[in-house]
Structure 1
Amino acid sequence: MSEFKAIQRIQEVLHNFEPGVSKLEKIGTITSVGDGIARVSGFEEVRYGEMVQFSNGAIGMVQNLESEDVGVIIFGSYASIHEGDSVRRMHRMMEVPVGEVMLGRVVDALGRPIDGKGEIHATQYRPVEAEAPGIMDRQTVNEPLQTGIKAIDALVPIGKGQRELIIGDRKTGKTTLAIDTILNQKGKNVRCIYVSIGQKESTVKNLVKTLERHDAMDYTIVMSASASSASSLLYLAPYAATAMGEAFMYQGDDVLIIYDDLSKQAVAYRELSLLLKRPPGREAYPGDIFYLHSRLLERSGKLSDERGGGSMTALPIIETQAGDISAYIPTNVISITDGQIFLESDLFFSGVLPAINAGLSVSRVGGSAQLPAMKKVSGTLRIDLASYRELEAFSQFGSDLDETTQRTLTQGARTVEVLKQGAHVLIPQEMQVILIYALTHQFMADVDPSQVQVYERDLYNYVDQWGQDILQDIRTKGHIEDTAALDSLLASFNQTYLGQRQGTEGSDGIPSSN
């Protein structure tokens, strides 16, 4: 009887059997491999962007879906991957670990630690490619992201959720601006991510040391796809870092992400595209090179209150050749971002640091989020600076200048000196407001341009001692409550400090009463 039941059960299973491979794992076979690209056959149902695993444990991502096979980019070394090896589908899109555990660590483009501090035990993962927030999921940029850099906070302000391009030739201070912005977020509850694309490993090591020295690694993730890394990792790194930033943004936090730099990512993507046999276009870049950066930068923004109100502020960096901002990749990214900070080589080599060209630099939305006090005192600063540059060029052709022109030139030179700032020397917003107020309201009219930085240092010390009420007003209320008190404070400072300095420099040695 039991044998009959067993036979009956076998017949039932055979009757209900449906041919197919849905319950079997699909295994692909490598038909060719080289230059970090593998051609794999046998993956009829694979998806674009899906993760696959090679027999040696290496990870790849599907890129080309063709009739005969699929093109897979390999992350890392491909020396031990050979034709005929098997490839396994992982049935999930390319993803990286995210969350609080990533803070304070240096990782590669796959989220693996490279700082020698042990494994990262992540419990959360996000896909590297994600849809950008829709229009109704966003709100306008309405809160300033303070950089601590006078020339930026006054001339080209950045708001939380903005995308502000930093552009300029090699070695003009682009990375220094970005790092200083990270340092200035200390104590401001902003999570920072720095993505190094194609930089030297020694450069990244020095950068991490700088962040550690200023206690900034506690709220920062450093992702490094160094110059010695495969092109696939250089291409992936910005997307992986953005996924890490999105994890914070969607839980209501503010994030600052820096891509240093996207020029090298574009070159890496061009290399991958050509190896995948995609048709080349202008300058051999593929046709979707604009989409490469637009789908990345559109993921930054300020979320609506219904979505938690988090933000992700992007500072992409682009390297130009001989200051040519009209080249292909620079114009692409300029058209995607909300403004640009242009660093000029001539200014840099003449000692104007940061070397920001006020004429070509612009912030299209940051002014809406700028501190009201700063917006009020710096209103004419850009025009004054532009007038000075024009007059400076004109005055080189003649020696006889009228008094008004000379006065304008001196004030312009004074403005340039005020906006100078050393690396990693960050100025609180309220101190910046008072300094620029002194400049624009002629309290510095008798200060020689060569003495501006001495005046600035002494002013900070004096205000810190006697102007705490004014500082507190600017810090908490965002504007100057009592301008008469500030005028009195600055007049008192001029009498005490400037008067003494002029007196000691006098020919008779008697301090001026002023």
Structure 2
Amino acid sequence: MTELDDDLARWAAQAQTVAAAATLEPHQRERGRVERIGDGVALLSGLAGAGQDEMLRFADGGLGMAVTLAPERIGAVLLSPSAGIAAGSVVERGGAVVRVPVGEALLGRVVDPLGRPLDGRPAPVCQRSEPVERPAPAIVERDPITRPLATGITVLDAMIPIGRGQRELIIGDGKTGKTAIAADAVINQRDSDVICVWASIGQRAAAVNRLIEAVGRFGPRERTLFVIAEASAPPGLAWLTPYAACSMAEHFVEQGRDVLLVIDDLTHHAALHRELSLLLRRPPGREAYPGDIFFAHARLLERGAQRAAALGGGSLTILPIVATQGGNLTAYIPTNIISITDGQIILDPKLFHAGQKPAVDVGLSVSRVGGKAQPPLLRRLAGSLKLDYAQFLELEMFTRFGGMADERTRRQVEHGRRIRALLIQTNTRVRGLPEQAAGLLALGAGLLDPLAEPALAAFLDGLADWLATACPALAARIAATGELDPAGQSELIERLRGHLAALGA
């Protein structure tokens, strides 16, 4: 009996220890059932308290998000494979909206929209998470866009400049270099303090891998985050990609840092939005898109802004990509996004197949903000460049039908061809501000007009190295201030004249 008393006393002491260590409180769990599932969506019953965008957990461990609320049942999109989910399966409310991890641990990583690793490395350890859907900054929380975001692409930085906090659309037919322009803009941030976030929506794995490799080789890989929804990902997860990437980017903006977000591409995102809406039995509208398709993109792109100084002064620059068919800019989705953004870079397939890359249509492309943020020297040198180039294109078209009308026309056409040669760049071969300024100075002074094409190509290819060795002080002054006084310009022109003479001009 004494031994039994000792056991009882020991068990009572253990129970008291456990009770002291654990605080027992009531916990409410709301569960429902799957009524119908298929094609990445599910109809659920028994979850009357579920909220919009709330995370849902299925019995097999899968995740979903509530997107359509009704008294009897709710519609959800799946954020994970549905192999283990069937009609009658149990589903439970998550109790909060869908959130994504944010923080420094994500930089240099490749993750899916929920922050799960896709690069074979351990999961990033983040201390915070943020909702995927967040309100855009109010007008009083924004400042004017006054700082340039250099892309390293001469045709853009000189004639269609982009400012930090701007939303500039890249639009064109398939296979015309839209992704290459955005990739070069990311690569050019290797010498800046800009953080880059790339959101890829359902793109081919081979193309995404080439992009990651190019940024790793030439760009700021350690300051770049890739948020990838693979082609095989559930449509709900792919639809969530740009919103999740934007929340991850906004974390750095709130710290007063500058971020560049590329969304590749919103055409695919719009198709996913239409697909999910039709599966959830929402009323279709024009081209079968639901009525909220404009709002779906507006609430995303409006999050791009230059934050007020009182809020840290950070900026979120967004480069959305949109694909057209047959160059039709008046289609439903392109016109929607053109009306939301601050300008558009339009790519022409005829220019692309003619070998002019990047194939930017200078006449149709526009930046409604960036000119105010352009470096002073570049703005001055490129003042009449767009007009001169447009006149050259018109003259070149007429001269195809016959000979040159006079000597003045011939000189103007030859000068225009030098402009075109200056604007051609190969992928990943970005140009810094000193290199762009030196090229425009030589063009404006007429130094490039006598050059034959091989000599001109050699001059442009070696310009960056020549500046670093022959004019390091002038190049450093341009890079630091974005400006060069008249004496400095004269000195640089004379040195360029001597360099061209040495090349055999």
User: Shorter-normalised TM-score: what interval?
Assistant: over 0.9
Asked whether the equivalents of residues 168 and 367 of structure 2 are also in contact (C-alpha less than 8 Å), the reply is yes
**TM-score, structure 1 normalization:** 0.91
Pair 268,135 (structure 1): closer, same or farther in 2 beyond 3 Å: same
1:367 aligned to 2:381? no
> Partner of 2:189: helix, strand, or coil?
coil
Asked whether the equivalents of residues 413 and 449 of structure 1 are also in contact (C-alpha less than 8 Å), the reply is no
Equivalent in the alignment of 2:254: 250
Counterpart selection for 2:156 from 147, 152, 156:
152
Asked whether the equivalents of residues 250 and 308 of structure 1 are also in contact (C-alpha less than 8 Å), the reply is yes
> What code does the residue aligned with 1:253 have?
R
> What code does the residue aligned with 1:93 have?
V
Asked whether the equivalents of residues 284 and 291 of structure 2 are also in contact (C-alpha less than 8 Å), the reply is yes
Counterpart selection for 1:464 from 464, 468, 475:
468
Equivalent in the alignment of 2:3: none
What is the Cα deviation at residue 323 of structure 1?
Answer: 1.1
Q: Provide the rounded CA distance (Å) in 2 between the counterparts of 1:133 and 1:198.
A: 28
Asked whether the equivalents of residues 445 and 493 of structure 2 are also in contact (C-alpha less than 8 Å), the reply is no
What is the Cα deviation at residue 103 of structure 1?
Answer: 0.8
Alignment of 1:369-384 (within 5 A): 369-384=373-388
Counterpart selection for 2:413 from 406, 409, 412:
409
> What code does the residue aligned with 1:182 have?
V
Asked whether the equivalents of residues 40 and 77 of structure 2 are also in contact (C-alpha less than 8 Å), the reply is yes
Which consecutive residues of structure 2, in runs of 5 or more, have no partner in the other structure? 1-25
What is the Cα deviation at residue 341 of structure 1?
Answer: 0.7
Give deviations 1:57-96, integer Å, cap 9, x for gaps: 1111101111211001111211211111111111111111
Equivalent in the alignment of 2:492: 489
1:272 aligned to 2:279? no
Counterpart selection for 1:260 from 255, 260, 264:
264
> Partner of 2:422: helix, strand, or coil?
helix
Counterpart selection for 2:213 from 209, 229, 248:
209
1:399 aligned to 2:436? no
1:294 aligned to 2:294? no
Asked whether the equivalents of residues 189 and 219 of structure 2 are also in contact (C-alpha less than 8 Å), the reply is no
Equivalent in the alignment of 1:357: 361
Q: CA RMSD in A?
A: 1.5
Equivalent in the alignment of 2:16: none
1:241 aligned to 2:241? no
Pair 326,364 (structure 1): closer, same or farther in 2 beyond 3 Å: same
> What code does the residue aligned with 2:222 have?
D
Pair 403,449 (structure 1): closer, same or farther in 2 beyond 3 Å: farther
Q: Provide the rounded CA distance (Å) in 1 between the counterparts of 2:352 and 2:153.
A: 16
Give deviations 1:121-143, integer Å, cap 9, x for gaps: 22210000000000000001111
1:224 aligned to 2:225? no
> What code does the residue aligned with 1:53 have?
R
Equivalent in the alignment of 2:139: 135
Asked whether the equivalents of residues 43 and 76 of structure 2 are also in contact (C-alpha less than 8 Å), the reply is yes
Equivalent in the alignment of 1:15: none
What is the Cα deviation at residue 457 of structure 1?
Answer: 3.4
Equivalent in the alignment of 2:501: 498
Q: Provide the rounded CA distance (Å) in 1 between the counterparts of 2:196 and 2:463.
A: 32
Equivalent in the alignment of 2:422: 418
Give deviations 1:351-377, integer Å, cap 9, x for gaps: 111111100111100111110110000
Q: Provide the rounded CA distance (Å) in 2 between the counterparts of 1:465 and 1:447.
A: 22
Give deviations 1:391-420, integer Å, cap 9, x for gaps: 111111222421111111111111000011
What is the Cα deviation at residue 435 of structure 1?
Answer: 0.9
Asked whether the equivalents of residues 132 and 298 of structure 1 are also in contact (C-alpha less than 8 Å), the reply is yes
Counterpart selection for 2:86 from 82, 87, 100:
82
**TM-score, structure 2 normalization:** 0.92
Equivalent in the alignment of 1:446: 450
Give deviations 1:158-194, integer Å, cap 9, x for gaps: 1110001111111111111111111111141211111
> Partner of 1:184: helix, strand, or coil?
helix
What is the Cα deviation at residue 434 of structure 1?
Answer: 1.5
Asked whether the equivalents of residues 261 and 318 of structure 1 are also in contact (C-alpha less than 8 Å), the reply is yes
Q: Provide the rounded CA distance (Å) in 1 between the counterparts of 2:266 and 2:503.
A: 51
> What code does the residue aligned with 1:490 have?
I
What is the Cα deviation at residue 231 of structure 1?
Answer: 1.3
Equivalent in the alignment of 1:305: 309
What is the Cα deviation at residue 500 of structure 1?
Answer: 5.7
> What code does the residue aligned with 1:491 have?
E
Aligned length: 480
Asked whether the equivalents of residues 234 and 264 of structure 1 are also in contact (C-alpha less than 8 Å), the reply is no
Asked whether the equivalents of residues 104 and 220 of structure 1 are also in contact (C-alpha less than 8 Å), the reply is yes
Q: Provide the rounded CA distance (Å) in 2 between the counterparts of 1:305 and 1:204.
A: 36
1:455 aligned to 2:459? yes
Aligned residues with identical type, % of pairs: 41
Alignment of 1:69-108 (within 5 A): 69-108=73-112
Asked whether the equivalents of residues 433 and 482 of structure 2 are also in contact (C-alpha less than 8 Å), the reply is no
> What code does the residue aligned with 1:268 have?
L
> What code does the residue aligned with 2:494 have?
A
Q: Provide the rounded CA distance (Å) in 1 between the counterparts of 2:232 and 2:408.
A: 57
What is the Cα deviation at residue 458 of structure 1?
Answer: 4.6
Asked whether the equivalents of residues 105 and 221 of structure 1 are also in contact (C-alpha less than 8 Å), the reply is yes
Q: Provide the rounded CA distance (Å) in 2 between the counterparts of 1:105 and 1:460.
A: 31
Asked whether the equivalents of residues 343 and 365 of structure 2 are also in contact (C-alpha less than 8 Å), the reply is yes
Equivalent in the alignment of 2:328: 324
Equivalent in the alignment of 2:482: 478
> Partner of 1:186: helix, strand, or coil?
helix
Q: Provide the rounded CA distance (Å) in 2 between the counterparts of 1:199 and 1:464.
A: 39
> What code does the residue aligned with 1:443 have?
L
> Partner of 1:501: helix, strand, or coil?
coil
> Partner of 2:176: helix, strand, or coil?
coil
Q: Provide the rounded CA distance (Å) in 2 between the counterparts of 1:123 and 1:244.
A: 13
What is the Cα deviation at residue 488 of structure 1?
Answer: 3.7
> What code does the residue aligned with 1:380 have?
S
What is the Cα deviation at residue 40 of structure 1?
Answer: 1.0
Counterpart selection for 2:170 from 145, 166, 179:
166
> Partner of 2:78: helix, strand, or coil?
strand
Pair 310,40 (structure 1): closer, same or farther in 2 beyond 3 Å: same
